[in-house]
Structure 1
Amino acid sequence: MTKLHAGACRCGLISVEIGSEPLLRSYCHCRDCRKQTGAPVMAFVAFRDEAVEWFGTPKTFRSAGVERSFCEHCGSQIGYRDDQLPGEIYFTLGFMDDPERYPPMWHAFEQRRLPFLHIQDDLPRYDGFSVER
């Protein structure tokens, strides 16, 4: 596999190399993503599972058809998988080595955006999911 993209947790115990281009990049304003990241909005980048080579094994938490992953040593949030989007993995931009390479394409769950958060851009805004499920 040719490494095109890479990511790692804060302590480096968990890392990935990715051999394909992203499927999509997005902001998500839903409550679950805010809870996962501890931030007022989550930004993520998606890849096909088969393009990802893992170094280390993250811990996971599963609820309502979504599996969220994190590093048990440093606590870094890694990303999530959704049972309704098989074969895909969604990495938080904070996990990626070069997050500036993944500018979001749109906003998901805009109706749940916190009222004090204002992101000035011309990106499409969806009241719910931004991808077909």
Structure 2
Amino acid sequence: MDKPFTGGCACGAIRYSIAGEPLFSNHCQCRDCQRESGSGHGSYMTFARAGVTVTGEAKHWDMVADSGNVKTRGFCTQCGVPVYMTFAAQPDVFTIRAGSLDEPTRYRPQVVTYAARGNGWDRLDPGLTKFEGMPPG
């Protein structure tokens, strides 16, 4: 069995363990991710929900994506750190913030999404494929 991906919030009140490899890893430059991260983008890893275990209690807030689908963001009620996202239209996936990993060096971004909304000062790896919005399919 491969080593699980583990992590959580800054204070340790929320912890997760994820079996399996990520389905998708990206930097997202949409305005929602910019606002939530307080920077130019959010960095994420998406996994099959079946392999995810979460302990601790998160506070949730919903927002509507450009697609019209609801995405729910989970953050710690103690330290306020955003940890994960779920999607009403894709209940079988679970997305974590790459910075919440115990070993953030395991994060390997594949693409940049919403590059059309990126700021000139947010310079990401030029070798990554960039999509104006979300990739097709």
Q: Please, what TM-score do these two structures have when normalized by structure 2?
A: 0.89
- Percent sequence identity over matched residues? 27
| Matches of 1:34 and 1:110, distance apart in 2 | 12
Q: Which runs of 5+ in 1 are unaligned?
A: none
| Matches of 1:18 and 1:79, distance apart in 2 | 12
34-43 vs 100-109, which deviates more? 34-43
Instruction: Note the C-alpha offset of 1:103.
Output: 1.6
| Matches of 1:73 and 1:67, distance apart in 2 | 18
Instruction: Note the C-alpha offset of 1:20.
Output: 1.1
Change (3 A) 1:13 1:106: same
- The 8 Å contact of residues 3 and 17 in structure 1, kept in 2 or not, is answered as no
| Matches of 1:46 and 1:131, distance apart in 2 | 16
Tell me the SS of whatever aligns to 1:44.
strand
- The 8 Å contact of residues 57 and 77 in structure 2, kept in 1 or not, is answered as no
Report what 1:52 is aligned to.
Answer: 52
Q: Which runs of 5+ in 2 are unaligned?
A: 65-69
Tell me the SS of whatever aligns to 2:74.
strand
Match for residue 111 of structure 1 among 109, 116, 119: 116
Q: Which one has the bigger strand percentage?
A: 2
Instruction: Note the C-alpha offset of 1:18.
Output: 0.9
Tell me the SS of whatever aligns to 2:129.
coil
Number of matched pairs: 132
Report what 1:10 is aligned to.
Answer: 10
